[in-house]
Amino acid sequence: MPELPEVETVMRGLRPSMEGAVIARADVNRPDLRWPFPERMAERLAGRRVLAMRRRSKYILADLDSGESLLIHLGMSGRMTVSGDPLGQFVHDHPAQEKHDHVVFHMENGARVTFNDPRRFGAMDLLDTATAADHKLLAVLGPEPLGNDFHEDHLVAAFKGRKTPVKSALLDQGIIAGLGNIYVCEALFRAGISPRRLAGDLSAARVKSLVPIIRDVLQEAIAAGGSSLKDFRQANGELGYFQHTFDVYGREGEPCRREGCDGVIGRITQSGRSSFSCGKCQR
């Protein structure tokens, strides 16, 4: 599933063609994805100007001049790609429609934005912009890891007394919004913390060290266009390339890259997800 860097990359890629532009028409080619589309979605989008494109956790939000916001979740295999952009950001001609092109936005500026989702775990909803933060999917989220509300004191307080592994705590969207399996594994490696360690057993100093490390990992991944492991593509159809710099994720059996460490990357399963770490230098 795309994590924060991938969703941020897609959102930034959509901005040149969608922000400030009018949706001339929206083709909604099926009644649902993970859940039913909102009533009259195509009608409510047609003729609306996109005032702003933004991201909250793993969701893309397009604020419309109607006072509604379109919420988009890419799910496991969803892609949003742009073709025919008159601004020259994308050189692709409009492709022939594919089987899993479930929603297509025809922009008045000539761009076409296509949401393709073979596995149909993605989702869209329309919500009131003024109260968007109260939406059931957004109200439960913790602070953005790249925002001012994510800081050392917040993380120390969130971890205090918790008897869950630090890996699970960092994946808790109520503690930090948008973090996923890949970037938690990478952050814990850089911090030298084992994913098995209980969050509440970590010293305040070690917890505080995670804050700048998490930010660095995410910013590096965004700069690299995200990580493409299976389905992820940027809005221009290109792959991300942060996966080429993974220290631990997906490297089971390979040597540790930390200077002076002769350990080997191992894999364990935690809460149904694979955790990759070096058992020698992560404690």
- Tell me which H or E stretch contains 269: strand 265-270
- 152 as an active site residue: the answer is no
186 annotated active-site = no
Please say if 112 is a catalytic residue. Answer: no
Strand partners, 79: 116
* 240 and 6 Cβ atoms separated by less than 8 Å: yes
- From the candidates 58, 79, 112, 167, give the one annotated as an active-site residue: 58
Long-range contacts of 15-19 (CB under 8 A, 24+ apart): 15/53, 16/85, 16/87, 16/89, 17/82, 17/85, 17/87, 17/89, 17/90, 17/107, 17/109, 17/111, 17/113, 18/50, 18/53, 18/62, 18/105, 18/107, 18/111, 18/113, 19/50, 19/51, 19/52, 19/53
- Measure Cα distances from 48 to 22, 44, 69 in Å: 5, 8, 11
Residues 6+ apart with CB under 8 A from 200: 159, 160, 161, 162, 163
Query: Which of 25, 44, 258, 273 is flagged as catalytic?
Result: 273
Tell me which of 2, 5, 145, 195 is the catalytic residue. Answer: 2
Q: What is the largest CA-CA distance in the chain?
A: 61
259 is catalytic: no
What's the rounded Cα separation, in Å, for the pair 57 and 143? 9
Q: Are 198 and 166 in contact (CB under 8 A)?
A: yes
Strands (E), 95-251: 101-107, 112-116, 123-128
Active site residues: 2-3, 58, 273
